[in-house]
Chains A and B, each alone.
Chain A
Amino acid sequence: MERSAVLTMRRAVLLLLLLFGAPWGSAGSQSVVLVVRTDSPVTDLDSVTVRKLFLGLPVLINGRPLHPIRNRADALLDQIFLQEIVAMSQTAYDRQTLTGLNRQGWLRPSEVDSGDAALGKVLADANAVTFVWQRDLAAHNEQVRVIRVLWSD
Protein backbone atom coordinates (compact mmCIF):
# COMPACT_ATOMS: atom_id res chain seq x y z
CA MET A 1 0.00 0.00 0.00
CA GLU A 2 2.71 2.42 1.04
CA ARG A 3 5.03 1.19 -1.69
CA SER A 4 2.30 1.64 -4.30
CA ALA A 5 1.85 5.21 -3.21
CA VAL A 6 5.58 5.78 -3.43
CA LEU A 7 5.74 4.30 -6.92
CA THR A 8 2.74 6.37 -8.03
CA MET A 9 4.47 9.47 -6.71
CA ARG A 10 7.62 8.48 -8.55
CA ARG A 11 5.75 8.07 -11.82
CA ALA A 12 4.20 11.50 -11.32
CA VAL A 13 7.58 13.05 -10.58
CA LEU A 14 9.06 11.28 -13.59
CA LEU A 15 6.31 12.68 -15.81
CA LEU A 16 6.78 16.19 -14.42
CA LEU A 17 10.53 15.99 -14.91
CA LEU A 18 9.98 14.89 -18.48
CA LEU A 19 7.50 17.69 -19.17
CA PHE A 20 9.16 20.58 -17.38
CA GLY A 21 12.39 19.64 -15.70
CA ALA A 22 14.62 18.39 -18.45
CA PRO A 23 15.97 21.05 -20.80
CA TRP A 24 16.10 18.51 -23.61
CA GLY A 25 12.49 17.48 -23.03
CA SER A 26 11.22 18.85 -26.29
CA ALA A 27 14.20 17.95 -28.41
CA GLY A 28 12.83 14.58 -29.55
CA SER A 29 12.98 11.05 -28.16
CA GLN A 30 15.62 10.03 -25.68
CA SER A 31 16.76 6.71 -24.30
CA VAL A 32 18.70 5.22 -21.44
CA VAL A 33 20.94 2.38 -22.55
CA LEU A 34 22.94 -0.31 -20.78
CA VAL A 35 26.52 -0.30 -21.99
CA VAL A 36 29.77 -2.25 -21.60
CA ARG A 37 33.22 -1.93 -23.10
CA THR A 38 33.52 -3.21 -26.68
CA ASP A 39 35.64 -6.20 -25.61
CA SER A 40 33.43 -7.06 -22.64
CA PRO A 41 32.43 -10.73 -22.26
CA VAL A 42 28.85 -9.57 -21.74
CA THR A 43 26.64 -10.27 -24.75
CA ASP A 44 23.18 -10.05 -23.26
CA LEU A 45 21.58 -9.34 -19.87
CA ASP A 46 17.88 -9.86 -19.29
CA SER A 47 15.92 -7.47 -17.09
CA VAL A 48 16.00 -9.80 -14.08
CA THR A 49 19.78 -10.10 -14.30
CA VAL A 50 20.13 -6.33 -14.69
CA ARG A 51 18.01 -5.89 -11.56
CA LYS A 52 20.13 -8.42 -9.67
CA LEU A 53 23.30 -6.69 -10.78
CA PHE A 54 22.23 -3.24 -9.61
CA LEU A 55 20.84 -4.58 -6.34
CA GLY A 56 24.33 -5.78 -5.56
CA LEU A 57 23.78 -9.51 -6.10
CA PRO A 58 26.70 -11.33 -7.70
CA VAL A 59 26.41 -11.76 -11.47
CA LEU A 60 29.27 -13.74 -13.00
CA ILE A 61 30.25 -14.09 -16.66
CA ASN A 62 32.99 -16.63 -17.42
CA GLY A 63 33.67 -16.96 -13.69
CA ARG A 64 34.27 -13.25 -13.18
CA PRO A 65 31.82 -10.92 -11.42
CA LEU A 66 30.40 -7.94 -13.27
CA HIS A 67 30.89 -4.51 -11.71
CA PRO A 68 27.77 -2.33 -11.80
CA ILE A 69 28.24 1.44 -12.02
CA ARG A 70 25.24 3.53 -10.99
CA ASN A 71 25.08 6.71 -13.03
CA ARG A 72 23.51 9.51 -10.95
CA ALA A 73 24.03 12.29 -13.48
CA ASP A 74 20.61 13.86 -12.97
CA ALA A 75 17.33 13.48 -11.12
CA LEU A 76 15.52 11.98 -14.10
CA LEU A 77 18.13 9.26 -14.48
CA ASP A 78 17.76 8.50 -10.77
CA GLN A 79 14.01 8.15 -11.19
CA ILE A 80 14.45 5.84 -14.17
CA PHE A 81 16.95 3.75 -12.22
CA LEU A 82 14.59 3.32 -9.28
CA GLN A 83 11.48 2.72 -11.34
CA GLU A 84 12.71 0.78 -14.35
CA ILE A 85 15.86 -1.02 -13.21
CA VAL A 86 15.51 -1.95 -9.54
CA ALA A 87 11.75 -1.31 -9.18
CA MET A 88 11.81 0.08 -5.65
CA SER A 89 12.06 3.30 -3.70
CA GLN A 90 15.42 4.76 -2.72
CA THR A 91 14.74 3.79 0.90
CA ALA A 92 13.94 0.20 -0.02
CA TYR A 93 16.97 0.13 -2.32
CA ASP A 94 19.26 1.32 0.48
CA ARG A 95 17.86 -1.30 2.82
CA GLN A 96 18.20 -4.06 0.21
CA THR A 97 21.84 -3.28 -0.50
CA LEU A 98 22.68 -2.91 3.21
CA THR A 99 21.02 -6.25 3.91
CA GLY A 100 23.04 -7.91 1.14
CA LEU A 101 26.25 -6.48 2.55
CA ASN A 102 25.34 -7.60 6.06
CA ARG A 103 24.34 -11.12 5.04
CA GLN A 104 26.87 -12.07 2.38
CA GLY A 105 29.29 -9.21 2.00
CA TRP A 106 27.78 -8.12 -1.30
CA LEU A 107 29.26 -4.95 -2.74
CA ARG A 108 26.94 -2.07 -3.45
CA PRO A 109 27.17 -0.65 -7.00
CA SER A 110 29.70 2.15 -7.18
CA GLU A 111 28.20 5.55 -7.96
CA VAL A 112 29.30 8.35 -10.29
CA ASP A 113 27.73 11.73 -10.93
CA SER A 114 28.07 12.10 -14.69
CA GLY A 115 27.75 10.12 -17.89
CA ASP A 116 31.39 10.81 -18.72
CA ALA A 117 32.51 9.39 -15.39
CA ALA A 118 30.32 6.30 -15.91
CA LEU A 119 31.76 5.73 -19.36
CA GLY A 120 35.27 6.35 -18.03
CA LYS A 121 34.79 3.51 -15.53
CA VAL A 122 33.48 1.21 -18.25
CA LEU A 123 36.42 1.99 -20.51
CA ALA A 124 38.81 1.13 -17.68
CA ASP A 125 37.19 -2.22 -16.77
CA ALA A 126 36.01 -4.92 -19.18
CA ASN A 127 33.64 -6.30 -16.51
CA ALA A 128 32.00 -2.96 -15.71
CA VAL A 129 28.38 -2.33 -16.68
CA THR A 130 26.65 1.04 -16.56
CA PHE A 131 23.71 2.92 -18.00
CA VAL A 132 23.79 6.32 -19.70
CA TRP A 133 21.70 8.59 -21.87
CA GLN A 134 22.08 7.46 -25.46
CA ARG A 135 23.17 10.98 -26.43
CA ASP A 136 26.19 10.63 -24.08
CA LEU A 137 27.56 7.89 -26.33
CA ALA A 138 28.30 10.21 -29.27
CA ALA A 139 32.00 10.52 -28.43
CA HIS A 140 32.42 6.85 -27.46
CA ASN A 141 30.66 4.88 -30.18
CA GLU A 142 33.76 2.90 -31.10
CA GLN A 143 34.71 2.05 -27.52
CA VAL A 144 31.47 0.86 -25.95
CA ARG A 145 28.71 -1.52 -26.86
CA VAL A 146 25.01 -1.09 -26.12
CA ILE A 147 23.56 -4.22 -24.50
CA ARG A 148 19.97 -3.11 -24.35
CA VAL A 149 17.69 -0.10 -24.16
CA LEU A 150 16.45 0.25 -20.60
CA TRP A 151 14.03 3.11 -21.09
CA SER A 152 12.87 5.50 -23.80
CA ASP A 153 10.25 8.22 -23.78
Chain B
Amino acid sequence: MRVSRLLFVLAVLLAHAARGDPLQHEFLLLPSAVVVGTYDRQSPETQIYDQVVQADALLTLQKGPFKLFGEYLLSDHEGDLERFQLGWQMSSDTVVWIGRYHQPTSVWNHDHHHGQYLQTSITRPWIDEWEDLRGALPQHFTGVLIESAHEVFGNWRLRTAAGGGVAPKLTNDGMEAFDLVHPDSTRRMGYQARASLHPDEFDETGFGILVAADALAADGLTIPGGVGLDHVDLQLYGAFGAYAGESWKLTGTVYHAEAQLHYPQAASRGDSFWVGYVEAEQRFARDFTGFARYEQSAGVADSPYLRLFEQFARTRYVGGVRWDFLEHEALTLQLTNSHMLNGHFSDVRLQWSAALF
Protein backbone atom coordinates (compact mmCIF):
# COMPACT_ATOMS: atom_id res chain seq x y z
CA MET B 1 0.00 0.00 0.00
CA ARG B 2 1.32 3.44 -0.84
CA VAL B 3 2.45 5.42 2.16
CA SER B 4 0.12 8.30 1.30
CA ARG B 5 -2.91 5.95 1.29
CA LEU B 6 -1.75 4.35 4.53
CA LEU B 7 -1.62 7.78 6.16
CA PHE B 8 -5.12 8.59 4.93
CA VAL B 9 -6.47 5.32 6.38
CA LEU B 10 -4.70 5.95 9.69
CA ALA B 11 -6.05 9.50 9.74
CA VAL B 12 -9.62 8.24 9.33
CA LEU B 13 -9.15 5.66 12.12
CA LEU B 14 -7.62 8.21 14.47
CA ALA B 15 -10.35 10.74 13.68
CA HIS B 16 -12.81 8.14 14.97
CA ALA B 17 -10.80 7.91 18.18
CA ALA B 18 -11.14 11.69 18.55
CA ARG B 19 -14.90 11.74 18.10
CA GLY B 20 -16.50 14.60 19.96
CA ASP B 21 -13.75 16.96 18.91
CA PRO B 22 -14.57 19.31 16.04
CA LEU B 23 -12.70 18.89 12.76
CA GLN B 24 -10.60 22.01 12.25
CA HIS B 25 -8.59 23.04 9.25
CA GLU B 26 -6.10 25.63 8.10
CA PHE B 27 -4.94 26.44 4.58
CA LEU B 28 -2.02 28.64 3.63
CA LEU B 29 -0.84 29.49 0.13
CA LEU B 30 2.64 30.95 -0.34
CA PRO B 31 3.00 32.03 -3.98
CA SER B 32 6.16 33.57 -5.40
CA ALA B 33 7.78 34.53 -8.68
CA VAL B 34 11.46 35.19 -9.29
CA VAL B 35 13.57 36.26 -12.25
CA VAL B 36 17.31 35.60 -12.32
CA GLY B 37 20.13 36.97 -14.43
CA THR B 38 23.65 35.55 -14.31
CA TYR B 39 26.88 37.35 -15.20
CA ASP B 40 30.64 36.91 -14.86
CA ARG B 41 30.15 33.24 -15.70
CA GLN B 42 33.46 31.41 -15.20
CA SER B 43 31.90 28.08 -14.37
CA PRO B 44 30.55 25.32 -16.65
CA GLU B 45 27.82 24.59 -14.09
CA THR B 46 25.44 27.51 -13.58
CA GLN B 47 22.21 25.60 -13.92
CA ILE B 48 19.91 28.24 -12.53
CA TYR B 49 16.37 28.57 -13.79
CA ASP B 50 16.05 32.11 -15.13
CA GLN B 51 12.51 32.37 -13.88
CA VAL B 52 10.42 30.38 -11.45
CA VAL B 53 6.76 30.81 -10.64
CA GLN B 54 5.62 28.63 -7.77
CA ALA B 55 2.89 28.13 -5.22
CA ASP B 56 3.52 26.37 -1.94
CA ALA B 57 0.29 25.10 -0.40
CA LEU B 58 -0.01 23.98 3.22
CA LEU B 59 -3.03 22.23 4.65
CA THR B 60 -3.69 21.09 8.20
CA LEU B 61 -6.68 18.98 9.24
CA GLN B 62 -6.99 18.51 12.98
CA LYS B 63 -9.38 16.51 15.10
CA GLY B 64 -8.57 16.34 18.78
CA PRO B 65 -4.89 15.55 19.28
CA PHE B 66 -4.50 14.11 15.77
CA LYS B 67 -3.63 16.08 12.69
CA LEU B 68 -2.91 15.49 9.04
CA PHE B 69 -0.46 17.99 7.61
CA GLY B 70 0.61 18.36 4.00
CA GLU B 71 2.77 20.68 1.91
CA TYR B 72 2.51 20.57 -1.87
CA LEU B 73 4.83 22.64 -4.05
CA LEU B 74 3.73 23.38 -7.57
CA SER B 75 5.94 25.36 -9.92
CA ASP B 76 6.56 25.75 -13.62
CA HIS B 77 9.40 23.23 -13.14
CA GLU B 78 8.01 20.65 -10.71
CA GLY B 79 5.08 19.46 -8.67
CA ASP B 80 5.86 17.54 -5.51
CA LEU B 81 4.27 16.45 -2.25
CA GLU B 82 7.05 17.82 -0.08
CA ARG B 83 5.66 16.96 3.34
CA PHE B 84 2.84 14.64 4.25
CA GLN B 85 2.63 13.83 7.92
CA LEU B 86 0.16 12.30 10.32
CA GLY B 87 0.71 13.78 13.77
CA TRP B 88 -0.24 12.90 17.31
CA GLN B 89 0.00 15.77 19.77
CA MET B 90 0.98 13.72 22.84
CA SER B 91 1.12 16.74 25.13
CA SER B 92 1.33 20.51 24.85
CA ASP B 93 5.07 20.13 24.19
CA THR B 94 5.48 16.91 22.23
CA VAL B 95 4.24 15.85 18.82
CA VAL B 96 4.95 12.57 17.04
CA TRP B 97 4.78 12.51 13.24
CA ILE B 98 4.83 9.70 10.75
CA GLY B 99 5.17 10.32 7.05
CA ARG B 100 7.46 12.35 4.83
CA TYR B 101 9.21 15.11 6.74
CA HIS B 102 12.01 17.64 6.42
CA GLN B 103 14.94 16.32 8.40
CA PRO B 104 15.66 18.39 11.51
CA THR B 105 19.44 18.77 11.18
CA SER B 106 19.00 21.34 8.44
CA VAL B 107 18.21 24.27 10.69
CA TRP B 108 17.34 26.50 7.74
CA ASN B 109 14.96 24.07 6.06
CA HIS B 110 13.36 22.93 9.28
CA ASP B 111 12.60 26.58 10.08
CA HIS B 112 11.58 27.87 6.64
CA HIS B 113 10.57 24.84 4.56
CA HIS B 114 9.52 25.65 0.97
CA GLY B 115 7.58 28.89 1.36
CA GLN B 116 9.56 31.80 -0.05
CA TYR B 117 7.62 34.52 1.81
CA LEU B 118 8.71 33.33 5.24
CA GLN B 119 12.46 33.56 4.54
CA THR B 120 14.18 36.92 4.14
CA SER B 121 16.68 36.00 1.44
CA ILE B 122 15.56 34.51 -1.87
CA THR B 123 17.96 31.57 -1.80
CA ARG B 124 18.85 29.24 1.03
CA PRO B 125 22.43 28.37 2.00
CA TRP B 126 23.85 26.03 -0.63
CA ILE B 127 24.53 23.27 1.90
CA ASP B 128 20.81 23.27 2.74
CA GLU B 129 19.63 23.19 -0.89
CA TRP B 130 16.90 20.72 -1.77
CA GLU B 131 17.79 17.39 -3.36
CA ASP B 132 16.12 18.16 -6.71
CA LEU B 133 18.12 21.40 -6.96
CA ARG B 134 21.41 19.51 -6.69
CA GLY B 135 21.63 19.78 -2.91
CA ALA B 136 24.46 17.79 -1.31
CA LEU B 137 22.73 16.75 1.91
CA PRO B 138 19.58 14.61 2.15
CA GLN B 139 16.56 16.68 3.24
CA HIS B 140 13.37 14.62 2.80
CA PHE B 141 12.91 11.40 4.78
CA THR B 142 9.90 9.15 5.23
CA GLY B 143 9.49 7.68 8.68
CA VAL B 144 9.01 9.02 12.19
CA LEU B 145 9.79 12.49 13.54
CA ILE B 146 9.37 13.51 17.19
CA GLU B 147 9.48 17.18 18.16
CA SER B 148 9.47 18.27 21.77
CA ALA B 149 10.24 21.08 24.19
CA HIS B 150 10.96 21.08 27.92
CA GLU B 151 11.63 23.68 30.58
CA VAL B 152 15.20 23.55 31.91
CA PHE B 153 17.41 25.80 34.04
CA GLY B 154 14.47 27.90 35.21
CA ASN B 155 12.73 29.56 32.31
CA TRP B 156 15.04 28.22 29.58
CA ARG B 157 13.56 25.86 27.02
CA LEU B 158 15.23 22.80 25.55
CA ARG B 159 13.78 22.11 22.11
CA THR B 160 14.53 18.75 20.54
CA ALA B 161 13.73 16.99 17.30
CA ALA B 162 14.68 13.44 16.36
CA GLY B 163 13.79 11.52 13.24
CA GLY B 164 14.47 8.30 11.42
CA GLY B 165 13.30 7.08 8.08
CA VAL B 166 13.85 6.07 4.49
CA ALA B 167 16.63 8.18 3.00
CA PRO B 168 17.02 9.73 -0.44
CA LYS B 169 19.12 7.83 -2.99
CA LEU B 170 21.93 8.97 -5.24
CA THR B 171 21.37 8.95 -8.99
CA ASN B 172 23.12 10.40 -12.01
CA ASP B 173 20.75 13.38 -11.72
CA GLY B 174 21.63 14.09 -8.12
CA MET B 175 19.87 13.01 -4.97
CA GLU B 176 16.32 11.72 -5.20
CA ALA B 177 14.02 11.69 -2.16
CA PHE B 178 11.55 8.90 -1.48
CA ASP B 179 8.36 9.59 -3.43
CA LEU B 180 5.16 8.86 -1.52
CA VAL B 181 3.15 8.63 -4.72
CA HIS B 182 5.64 6.44 -6.63
CA PRO B 183 7.52 4.51 -3.92
CA ASP B 184 10.49 2.24 -4.63
CA SER B 185 12.48 -0.16 -2.48
CA THR B 186 16.11 0.49 -3.38
CA ARG B 187 16.84 2.67 -0.40
CA ARG B 188 18.56 2.75 2.97
CA MET B 189 17.81 4.46 6.27
CA GLY B 190 18.87 7.70 7.93
CA TYR B 191 18.63 9.07 11.48
CA GLN B 192 18.86 12.67 12.69
CA ALA B 193 18.66 14.59 15.96
CA ARG B 194 18.81 18.21 16.99
CA ALA B 195 18.73 19.94 20.40
CA SER B 196 18.76 23.65 21.21
CA LEU B 197 18.46 25.93 24.24
CA HIS B 198 16.36 29.12 24.22
CA PRO B 199 15.94 31.78 26.91
CA ASP B 200 12.16 31.38 27.01
CA GLU B 201 9.13 29.78 25.42
CA PHE B 202 8.74 32.27 22.59
CA ASP B 203 12.30 33.35 21.83
CA GLU B 204 14.00 32.52 18.53
CA THR B 205 17.34 33.35 20.12
CA GLY B 206 19.23 30.23 21.08
CA PHE B 207 21.96 27.78 20.26
CA GLY B 208 22.17 24.07 19.69
CA ILE B 209 23.83 20.99 18.27
CA LEU B 210 22.87 18.45 15.63
CA VAL B 211 23.92 14.99 14.53
CA ALA B 212 22.87 12.69 11.70
CA ALA B 213 23.81 9.26 10.34
CA ASP B 214 22.41 8.66 6.89
CA ALA B 215 22.97 5.80 4.46
CA LEU B 216 22.39 6.82 0.85
CA ALA B 217 21.93 4.05 -1.70
CA ALA B 218 23.37 4.67 -5.17
CA ASP B 219 21.04 3.75 -7.99
CA GLY B 220 22.88 3.29 -11.30
CA LEU B 221 25.24 6.07 -10.33
CA THR B 222 28.56 6.22 -12.12
CA ILE B 223 31.08 8.55 -10.56
CA PRO B 224 33.77 10.44 -12.52
CA GLY B 225 36.29 7.86 -13.79
CA GLY B 226 33.58 5.41 -14.77
CA VAL B 227 33.49 3.60 -11.43
CA GLY B 228 30.18 2.45 -10.00
CA LEU B 229 29.07 3.34 -6.47
CA ASP B 230 27.07 1.12 -4.11
CA HIS B 231 26.19 3.48 -1.30
CA VAL B 232 27.46 6.31 0.88
CA ASP B 233 27.46 6.45 4.67
CA LEU B 234 27.16 10.10 5.61
CA GLN B 235 27.64 11.34 9.16
CA LEU B 236 26.92 14.91 10.07
CA TYR B 237 27.80 16.87 13.19
CA GLY B 238 27.06 20.51 13.68
CA ALA B 239 26.30 23.49 15.84
CA PHE B 240 24.08 26.48 15.28
CA GLY B 241 23.01 29.69 16.94
CA ALA B 242 20.61 32.57 16.48
CA TYR B 243 20.13 35.99 17.97
CA ALA B 244 16.77 37.60 17.29
CA GLY B 245 16.67 41.18 18.54
CA GLU B 246 14.06 43.85 17.91
CA SER B 247 15.67 45.06 14.70
CA TRP B 248 18.61 42.66 14.25
CA LYS B 249 18.72 38.98 13.55
CA LEU B 250 21.86 36.87 13.31
CA THR B 251 21.93 33.18 12.43
CA GLY B 252 24.75 30.78 11.81
CA THR B 253 25.37 27.08 11.35
CA VAL B 254 28.47 24.98 10.91
CA TYR B 255 28.45 21.36 9.72
CA HIS B 256 31.20 18.77 9.81
CA ALA B 257 30.49 15.91 7.42
CA GLU B 258 32.21 12.54 7.22
CA ALA B 259 31.39 10.52 4.13
CA GLN B 260 32.36 6.94 3.41
CA LEU B 261 31.88 5.95 -0.24
CA HIS B 262 31.35 2.20 -0.74
CA TYR B 263 32.07 0.67 -4.15
CA PRO B 264 30.64 -2.62 -5.47
CA GLN B 265 34.02 -4.34 -5.19
CA ALA B 266 33.83 -3.91 -1.40
CA ALA B 267 36.41 -1.15 -1.45
CA SER B 268 35.58 2.12 0.21
CA ARG B 269 36.94 5.63 0.45
CA GLY B 270 36.37 8.20 3.13
CA ASP B 271 36.55 11.94 3.25
CA SER B 272 35.43 14.78 5.45
CA PHE B 273 34.70 18.45 5.01
CA TRP B 274 33.35 21.51 6.83
CA VAL B 275 30.62 23.84 5.63
CA GLY B 276 29.06 26.80 7.39
CA TYR B 277 27.26 30.06 6.96
CA VAL B 278 26.36 33.17 8.89
CA GLU B 279 23.53 35.53 8.00
CA ALA B 280 22.69 38.98 9.34
CA GLU B 281 19.39 40.76 8.86
CA GLN B 282 18.40 44.23 9.92
CA ARG B 283 14.97 45.80 9.75
CA PHE B 284 14.82 49.42 8.67
CA ALA B 285 12.05 52.02 8.54
CA ARG B 286 9.25 51.73 5.98
CA ASP B 287 9.28 47.91 6.12
CA PHE B 288 12.68 47.46 4.48
CA THR B 289 14.98 44.66 5.61
CA GLY B 290 18.61 44.34 4.58
CA PHE B 291 20.40 41.00 4.66
CA ALA B 292 23.84 39.57 4.04
CA ARG B 293 25.08 35.99 4.18
CA TYR B 294 28.54 34.48 3.97
CA GLU B 295 28.90 30.79 3.18
CA GLN B 296 32.28 29.09 3.49
CA SER B 297 33.69 25.57 3.44
CA ALA B 298 36.92 23.70 4.12
CA GLY B 299 38.30 20.41 2.87
CA VAL B 300 35.93 20.32 -0.09
CA ALA B 301 38.37 20.55 -3.01
CA ASP B 302 39.37 16.88 -2.89
CA SER B 303 36.13 15.51 -1.50
CA PRO B 304 34.98 12.52 -3.59
CA TYR B 305 31.51 12.91 -2.09
CA LEU B 306 31.11 16.53 -3.15
CA ARG B 307 32.40 15.64 -6.62
CA LEU B 308 29.00 14.00 -7.02
CA PHE B 309 27.52 17.51 -6.82
CA GLU B 310 29.37 19.64 -9.35
CA GLN B 311 27.30 22.70 -8.51
CA PHE B 312 28.35 22.72 -4.88
CA ALA B 313 29.39 26.25 -3.86
CA ARG B 314 32.51 26.21 -1.73
CA THR B 315 32.19 29.95 -1.03
CA ARG B 316 29.24 32.21 -1.54
CA TYR B 317 28.44 35.85 -0.80
CA VAL B 318 24.81 36.89 -0.67
CA GLY B 319 23.34 40.32 -0.06
CA GLY B 320 20.08 42.08 -0.70
CA VAL B 321 17.10 44.00 0.48
CA ARG B 322 13.49 43.00 1.10
CA TRP B 323 10.56 45.41 1.05
CA ASP B 324 7.27 44.37 2.62
CA PHE B 325 5.33 46.80 0.48
CA LEU B 326 1.88 45.46 1.37
CA GLU B 327 0.46 43.39 4.18
CA HIS B 328 1.63 39.82 3.43
CA GLU B 329 3.41 40.76 0.17
CA ALA B 330 7.10 41.44 -0.34
CA LEU B 331 9.62 42.29 -3.04
CA THR B 332 13.21 41.11 -2.65
CA LEU B 333 16.33 42.03 -4.60
CA GLN B 334 19.38 39.80 -4.10
CA LEU B 335 22.93 39.74 -5.43
CA THR B 336 25.00 36.56 -5.18
CA ASN B 337 28.59 35.67 -5.94
CA SER B 338 29.17 31.91 -5.99
CA HIS B 339 32.52 30.11 -6.13
CA MET B 340 31.99 26.52 -7.19
CA LEU B 341 34.37 23.58 -7.17
CA ASN B 342 35.30 24.40 -10.77
CA GLY B 343 34.66 28.07 -11.39
CA HIS B 344 32.54 30.98 -10.27
CA PHE B 345 29.63 33.16 -11.35
CA SER B 346 27.38 35.90 -10.07
CA ASP B 347 23.66 36.44 -10.29
CA VAL B 348 21.00 39.02 -9.55
CA ARG B 349 17.46 38.04 -8.56
CA LEU B 350 14.19 39.86 -8.11
CA GLN B 351 11.36 38.10 -6.31
CA TRP B 352 7.74 38.77 -5.43
CA SER B 353 6.35 36.62 -2.61
CA ALA B 354 3.16 36.57 -0.62
CA ALA B 355 1.13 34.72 1.99
CA LEU B 356 -2.53 34.13 1.24
CA PHE B 357 -4.82 32.65 3.88
- Give the interface of A toward B (CB within 8 A): 1-4, 48, 51-52, 55, 57-60, 63-65, 67, 91, 94-95, 98-99, 101-108, 110, 125, 127
Evaluate whether A102 and B328 lie within 8 angstroms (CB atoms) in the complex, with A1-B246, A65-B89, A108-B26 already known: no
Least distance between A96 CB and chain B CB atoms (Å): 8
Evaluate whether A94 and B328 lie within 8 angstroms (CB atoms) in the complex, with A60-B65, A67-B22 already known: yes
- Interface contact A3-B246, CB-CB below 8 Å: yes
- Interface contact B65-A65, CB-CB below 8 Å: yes
The docked-state distance in angstroms from the alpha carbon of A101 to that of B355 is: 12
- Interface contact B69-A105, CB-CB below 8 Å: yes
- Interface contact A105-B246, CB-CB below 8 Å: no
B283 closest partner in A (C-beta): A2
Least distance between A40 CB and chain B CB atoms (Å): 14
Cβ contacts under 8 Å, B67 to chain A: 105
Counting chain B CB atoms within 10 Å of each CB, the highest count among A58, A64, A105, A106 belongs to A105
A63 closest partner in B (C-beta): B65
- Interface contact B65-A64, CB-CB below 8 Å: yes
Evaluate whether A125 and B69 lie within 8 angstroms (CB atoms) in the complex, with A102-B58, A102-B118 already known: no
Least distance between B315 CB and chain A CB atoms (Å): 30
Cβ contacts under 8 Å, B201 to chain A: 48, 52
- Interface contact B147-A104, CB-CB below 8 Å: yes
- Interface contact B246-A4, CB-CB below 8 Å: yes
Cβ contacts under 8 Å, B25 to chain A: 107
**In residues 127-170 of chain B, which contact A (Cβ within 8 Å)?**
147
- Interface contact B65-A105, CB-CB below 8 Å: no
Cβ contacts under 8 Å, B21 to chain A: 64-65, 127
Can you list 17 A-B pairs, Cβ within 8 angstroms, ordered by A? A3-B247, A48-B201, A58-B95, A63-B65, A64-B21, A101-B28, A102-B112, A102-B113, A102-B115, A102-B118, A103-B110, A104-B87, A105-B60, A105-B87, A106-B60, A107-B24, A107-B25
- Interface contact B246-A101, CB-CB below 8 Å: no
Cβ contacts under 8 Å, A99 to chain B: 118
- Does any Cβ of A come within 8 Å of B91's Cβ? yes
Cβ contacts under 8 Å, A3 to chain B: 246-247
Cβ contacts under 8 Å, A127 to chain B: 21
- Does any Cβ of A come within 8 Å of B92's Cβ? yes
- Interface contact B92-A101, CB-CB below 8 Å: no
Q: Which of B58, B64, B202, B285 contacts A65 (CB 8 A)?
A: B64
The docked-state distance in angstroms from the alpha carbon of A51 to that of B200 is: 13
Evaluate whether A51 and B115 lie within 8 angstroms (CB atoms) in the complex, with A1-B246, A98-B28 already known: no
The docked-state distance in angstroms from the alpha carbon of A106 to that of B95 is: 11
- Interface contact A101-B65, CB-CB below 8 Å: no
The docked-state distance in angstroms from the alpha carbon of A3 to that of B85 is: 35
B287 closest partner in A (C-beta): A91
Evaluate whether A1 and B89 lie within 8 angstroms (CB atoms) in the complex, with A102-B58, A107-B60 already known: no
The docked-state distance in angstroms from the alpha carbon of A57 to that of B94 is: 11
